[in-house]
Structure 1
């Protein structure tokens, strides 16, 4: 937790995807102060033309390297979110050559009772976490 879902246009190789996931994890560790092994990431690849990511009228250019990231997480502060957005763009640009204009993020918040990490229990509620 958090759960990160990446939507990408297909065409990256396995190493490029791993670099992207590692970069996002570094940003998550720094911004949200989660444990190192708190890593849940899913990649969905789409054919060109099956993913449209426009700019809401902000004049933000997009390329075939666009990354749409949905983060499902317990509530985070405004400062944590803004730090994550900044660090994510820095890491992706440095590691993967992805321009900050190609990074879009949506954070969906939920509560402790919305998580079960296995064994049929809600570990945040039971005190296991």
Structure 2
């Protein structure tokens, strides 16, 4: 199964969740004219390069809509950052670059 139409196998997901109190979570509430609130969620995805801008936009929409449904996060409070990484820059275990050709 491929997740979200962006070519990520369902079993290739590794997540880190970090929660911070207000003193340790600093952000510009009005950055780029968007009215962010205290419920800001920042999602950073590190993945292999090669997706189109259209695929990325679909992913942004799917994540934002999903967070809107549960737990009810406003679209203004969803900040997403994608980090495209070349295949040979991964070692996912046993100290080998398994994706490198």
Q: TM-score, normalised by structure 2?
A: 0.86
Superposition deviation, residue 116 in structure 1: 1.2
Answer 1 or 2: higher relative contact order, Cα 8 Å, separation at least 6: 1
Indicate the structure with greater helix content: 1
Does residue 29 (structure 1) correspond to residue 3 (structure 2)? The answer is yes
Runs of 4+ in 1 over 3 A off after TM superposition: none
The whole-number CA distance in structure 2 between the counterparts of 1:113 and 1:31 is: 23
The count of aligned residue pairs is 98
Residue 110 of structure 1: aligned partner: 85
Matches within 5 A, 1:38-117: 38-54=12-28, 55-58=30-33, 60-75=34-49, 76-117=51-92
Supply the RMSD in Å over aligned alpha carbons: 1.7
Q: TM-score, normalised by structure 1?
A: 0.69
Unaligned 5+ runs, structure 2: none
What 5-or-longer segments of structure 1 have no aligned partner? Answer: 1-27
CA distance in 2 between partners of 1:34 and 1:110 (Å): 14
